[in-house]
């Protein structure tokens, strides 16, 4: 695996005393989880991986990820529905969600569930990192804009 580097995203720097970016992964393929662990460790991300979940919101509230990566088709659940739950919850709605699936036509026929990005499997690891960094940058910019609006209204 080639050496990876992250561009500096304000507020998401790692290994420099700032907050470490946390990614929650829900994926039933253990081989892919192992690859993502190596990739995210190399990129400076902290990852929590789950093969399946019954309820996503308590896990998100407990782990407080900066980004959620969901497989669309899970054995006991639907990653798209988990995305919708995250996006409809006031406490978690700003967390970027990326959905990936080996069956993109199925997801497209059901709707996008409000995800911030979709990646078809199999995918290039650099493409995944690009989408993650783009989503994190957008989240950071949104949070900055909200803080500026709050300070103007006070």
Answer whether residue 17 shows pLDDT above 60.
no
State residue 58's pLDDT score.
95
Whether the CA torsion 23, 115, 11, 60 is positive or negative: it is negative
Interval 52-75: pLDDT, tens? 888 999 999 999 999 999 998 888
Q: Which pLDDT value is given to residue 112? A: 67
Three-state SS for the chain is: CCCCCCCCCCCCCCCCCCCCCEEEEECCCHHHHHHHHHHHHHHCCEEEEECCCCCHHHHHHHHCCCEEEEECECCCCEHHHHHHHHHHCCCCCCCCEEEEECCHHHHHHHCCCCCCEEEECCCCHHHHHHHHHHHHHHHHHHHHHHHHHHHHHC
Tell me the HSE value of 29 on the side-chain side, using a 13 A CA sphere: 13
Backbone angles phi, psi at 96, to 5 degrees: -65, 140
Question: pLDDT tens-digit profile of 83-115?
Answer: 999 999 999 999 999 999 888 776 666 666 889
Q: What's the pLDDT score for residue 151? A: 80
Q: Please state whether 102 falls in left (phi above 0), alpha (psi between -120 and 50) or beta.
A: alpha
User: Domains (ranges, CATH) in the chain?
Assistant: 22-153 (3.40.50.2300)
Q: Mean pLDDT across the chain, nearest whole number? A: 85
**Within 10 A of 143 (CB to CB), how many other CB atoms are there?**
12
Query: In this predicted structure, what is the pLDDT of residue 46?
Result: 96
Please tell me the predicted confidence (pLDDT) of residue 14.
44
């Amino acid at each position: 695996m080639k050496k990876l580097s992250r561009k500096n995203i304000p507020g998401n720097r790692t290994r420099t005393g700032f907050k470490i970016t946390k990614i929650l992964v829900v994926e039933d393929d253990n081989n892919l989880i192992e690859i993502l662990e190596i990739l995210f460790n190399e990129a400076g991300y902290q990852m929590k991986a789950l093969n399946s979940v019954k309820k996503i919101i308590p896990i998100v509230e407990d782990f407080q990820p900066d980004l959620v990566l969901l497989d669309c088709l899970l054995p006991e659940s639907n990653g798209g529905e988990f995305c919708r739950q995250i996006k409809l919850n006031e406490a978690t709605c700003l967390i970027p969600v990326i959905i990936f699936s080996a069956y993109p036509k199925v997801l497209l026929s059901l709707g996008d569930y409000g995800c911030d990005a979709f990646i078809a499997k199999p995918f290039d690891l650099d493409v995944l990192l690009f989408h993650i960094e783009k989503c994190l940058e957008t989240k950071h910019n949104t949070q900055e804009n909200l803080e500026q609006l709050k300070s103007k209204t006070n």
